[in-house]
Amino acid sequence: MTIQHFLKSPERFKATPVVSADATIINGTIYMTVIPTTTLVGRGTVVEQAKEVFALIEERLARHGSDKRKIGHITVWLAHVLDFPAFTQAWNEWADPECPPVRACCQVTMANKDIRVEMIVVAST
């Protein structure tokens, strides 16, 4: 079994000082959690935050030789269930219609009240 942990950059650790990896790859499967950057936290709508998270997902996957067509599953956490329709519209514009991942979406109480969306991604390399 091969496990690789890719640590957060010092800048990302300052923004979210939690000891966790930016991504972990186990036997060719990428695991990562993605939240909006501090520039949108507290200011962005759920759509703005989601679009930023989508871009961050693609950027991180590319670093590991993958892309959104190789995502098998995304868990979406929304701070407000009323954001579900707007988020789903942004999702439908972003998701690859030929290779859409399995998606679960639920409302949770976020640890940071200014974050409206967080995603957990599982993809292959």
Indicate whether 36 pLDDT > 90.
no
Domains and CATH numbers, the chain: 28-124 (3.30.1330.40)
pLDDT at 14: 67
The three-state DSSP-derived secondary structure of 48-114 is HHHHHHHHHHHHHHHHCCCCHHHEEEEEEEECCHHHHHHHHHHHHHHCCCCCCCEEEEEECCCCCCC
Q: What is the pLDDT of residues 69-88, one digit of tens each?
A: 999 999 999 999 999 999 99
CB contact burial 17-53 (16+ within 10 A = b; e otherwise): eeeeebbebeeeebebbbbbbeebbeebebbebbbbb
**Predicted confidence band of residue 13 (pLDDT cuts 50, 70, 90):** low
Percentage of the chain exceeding pLDDT 70: 91
77 neighbors 110 (Cβ within 8 angstroms)? yes
Model pTM? Answer: 0.90
